[in-house]
Each structure stands twice: as C-alpha cells, then as structure tokens.
Amino acid sequence: MKLALLGATGRTGRLLVDQALERGHTLTLLARDPGGLHVQQDRVTVVRGDARDAAVYPELLHGAGAVLSALGPVKGGSHDVMTLAARHLAGASAAQQVVRLVTLTGAGVPHPGDTPKLIDRAIRGLLRLTQPAVLADAVRHAEIVRASTLAWTVVRVPRLTDGPDRAVLAGRVGTIRPFITRASAAHFMLDVLSDPDMVGQAPAISN
C-alpha cells in the first residue's frame, strides 16, 4: 500500500518508516528538513514542508491509501502542530480520496470508556500543570479526528521508551501499563491499518 506519513523524523516515526518498508509499503514522507530522514530508496518520496501548512497536503496525500501520523511535541516547537495537522487531514483527505487515518497520541488524551486509576489521574494532572499547551494540542487533535468523516484510529500510548518490539496490551486508560517501546507502538499502528474492528476506536496500548 502507498502510505503518507507525518512525523517521520521523530524517534517513533523513524521506526514506523523502517517497519512500513519492511512490510513492503511505499511511502510519501513529510519533512521540514529532508536531511533529517534516515532512508533514501525507490519506495520513498519526500515532500518538503511543515505539517501546519495546508498547502503541503495535496502532494503528501496524492495516491495514498492511508495516512499515519507520529507527530508529537518537539522542544522549542509549535504547540498547535497536532491540531493543525488533524484539521488539514480532515479537510484534504476527502479531496484526495484518502479515508484511513491512524494517529498516535498520549494516554493523557481521554476517550469514552476509560476507567482511569489514581495514577492515571495524577499523571494527567501533572501534564496540565507542566505541559498544558502540549496536552491541549493532543486533546484538540483527537477531537477533530473523532469528529471527521475519516476511518480513524487514535492510538494512545503511555511513556514511550527505547527497546525492541514486544507484545502489546491493548485496552483503555486504566487497564494498561505505564510503558511501551517505540518499536511496539509503530508495529501496532501498522497492524491496525488493516483491522476493520479498529476503525472509530481509540485504544490505549502498552507492553
């Protein structure tokens, strides 16, 4: 499948690129600085631009069968990148006939059905105090995606760590563990692309 990917230069995004290529997908990657990409091969096309800019999406999405987003906060970066990307995807995807979206966000983003424990509430409270703009951006992005006509899956993760691809526990906030490796998160995102039962769902996952 031809996939469009946002966040390809990030620590999770790089693993998502590698695993997608290993599975035989063809990729179109969005990057502000293509020099930050670690792959150069025939099955990779690079669109230079910013995820906040609506003008990049027609080229990024052209011919894609699905979109994967591993966008997240960057130190010193914009606090609205996830919100704007979600808004542009919701608008541009219909025009480009792309209907499938899998997007990554933090487990601090609430979803109906969650049963947060005391520790989950404490972590969310800490995020509100220490990173309010980051949390607000993630929450708004999820709200826009859920309200769109896309066949969406919002994958919510706790603390991301380095390490190998491991078995994934998928559930809701309140039933998962505190950590997941980036490799595991990338694997799960690719798996749910072809899972119709995951459309319209926001699983929380961990190792």
Residue pair 3/24 in contact (Cβ under 8 Å)? The answer is: no
Q: How are beta strands 169-171 and 204-206 bridged, if at all?
A: antiparallel
- Report which of 83, 71, 100, 97 is spatially closest to residue 3, judged by C-alpha positions: 100
pLDDT value at position 135? 95
pLDDT value at position 111? 97
CB count within 10 Å of CB 63 equals 12
Residue pair 17/39 in contact (Cβ under 8 Å)? The answer is: yes
pLDDT value at position 77? 73
85-121 burial string, b = 16+ CB within 10 Å, else e? bbbbbbebbeebebbbbbbbbbbbbebeebebeeebe
Q: 45 — phi, psi (to 5°)?
A: -115, 140
CB count within 10 Å of CB 34 equals 15
Q: pLDDT tens digits for the chain (207 residues)?
A: 999 999 999 999 999 999 999 999 999 999 998 888 888 789 999 999 999 999 999 999 999 999 999 999 877 678 899 999 999 999 988 788 899 999 999 999 999 999 999 999 999 999 999 999 999 999 999 999 999 999 999 999 999 999 999 999 999 999 999 999 999 999 999 999 999 999 999 999 999
- pTM for the structure as a whole: 0.96
pLDDT value at position 153? 98
pLDDT value at position 74? 77
Domains of the chain with CATH codes: 2-206 (3.40.50.720)
Give the C-alpha separation, 196 to 193, whole Å. Answer: 8
150 burial type by CB count under 10 A (0-12 exposed, 13-18 middle, 19+ buried): buried
Give the C-alpha separation, 169 to 188, whole Å. Answer: 10
